[in-house]
Amino acid sequence: MVKKGAIIAVVIALLTALAACGKSTETSSSSSGEAKKKVIVGTDAAFAPFEYMDKGKIVGFDVDLLDAVMKEAGIEYELKNIGWDPLFAALQSKEIDMAISGITINDKRKQTYDFSIPYFEATQMIMVKENSPIKNALDLKGKTIGVQNATTGQEAVEKLLGKGNKNIKKFETTVVAIMELLNGGVDAVVTDNAVANEYVKNNPNKKIKVIPDSKHFESEFYGMMFPKGSDLKAKVDEALKKVMKSGKYAEIYKKWFGTEPNLDKLLK
């Protein structure tokens, strides 16, 4: 018969091992035995429905997609809400390993960062009060326009009104830009379509409407962003493709947007 003492010793050893597992949040052992760091992913969680704070947790379409992709790739990660402007600096200094934040892939950013394959199609739209005289992008001339600093929304407005135009008001977050619209501090906000639509849907009492203008706002594609040369890109791309083809992407898309995605356009 096995001694009671021996059993207790084994149980204690097991519990100690378990406790150690729970504690090691920063590192984990890879199959080859060497310690590997958790991948740190940065975001600006003030951009519903892509990423926003809900009861102290970061949630949204990007958050669910990231989780599906990282699970598929077998990568352990931690998502951190660090804000929009700091995202770019933190990636460049490799303080974080990647970013997901409704980030539009464009040539300027591609000079400094690497991007995953595109995972979402978007375009800029105009948010105004329901009684606003603004009907399209050209009507923005002479009006004050709120944008989130260093976004493609800012770029789109600069293209229309000229860079450095004093009527372009830049805010740290899209949420603050929308607050300014409500307060009458700006006449319009230019931001990504899904974000504008989500706000109007969730705040019918605020009397805000969304104006599309496909003539002046081009189609944009979101990608996950990496420091240049990151070896994460290939792994993430492969997993992202699998998630798109397996039906998981469509499931997440339907949860957040209520419709079927057009995957052909993203995968071509």
Residues that bind ligand ARG (CB under 6 A): 44, 47, 51, 84, 101-104, 148, 151-152, 174, 192
Q: Which is nearer to ligand ARG, 219 or 262 (CB)?
A: 219
- Give least dist CB 126 to ligand ARG, A: 15
What whole-number distance in Å separates Cα of residue 147 and Cα of residue 20?
47
**Residue 96: both structure tokens together:** 């974080």
Backbone phi, psi, residue 85, to 5° = -60, -45
Chain center to CA of 149: 15
The distance of closest approach from Cβ of residue 103 to ligand ARG in the complex, given in angstroms and rounded to an integer, is: 5
Q: In 3-state terms, the chain is what percent helix, strand and coil (to 5)?
A: 40, 25, 35
Q: Is 96 helix (H, G, I), strand (E, B) or coil?
A: coil
Cβ neighbors of 253 (< 8 A, separation 6 or more) are: 61, 259, 260, 261
Minimum CB separation of residue 71 from ligand ARG in Å reads: 22
Q: Provide DSSP, 151-163.
A: SHHHHHHHHHH-T
Pick the closer one to ligand ARG by CB: 51 or 187. Answer: 51
In terms of CB distance, is 59 or 238 closer to ligand ARG? 59
Across-strand partners of 168? 145
Q: With CA atoms as reference, report the closest residue to 67 among 243, 220, 245.
A: 243
Contact status, residue 189 vs residue 177, Cβ threshold 8 Å: yes
Which C-beta is closer to ligand ARG: that of 156 or that of 244? Answer: 156
- Output the smallest distance, CB 104 to ligand ARG, in A: 4
Residue 201 CB, nearest distance to ligand ARG (Å)?
A: 18
Give me the least distance between CB of 46 and ligand ARG, in Å please. 6
CB of 120 to ligand ARG, least distance (A): 9
The smaller minimum CB distance to ligand ARG, of residues 148 and 230, is found at: 148
Alpha carbon of 80 to those of 58, 95, 114, 205: distances in Å?
Answer: 8, 11, 19, 32
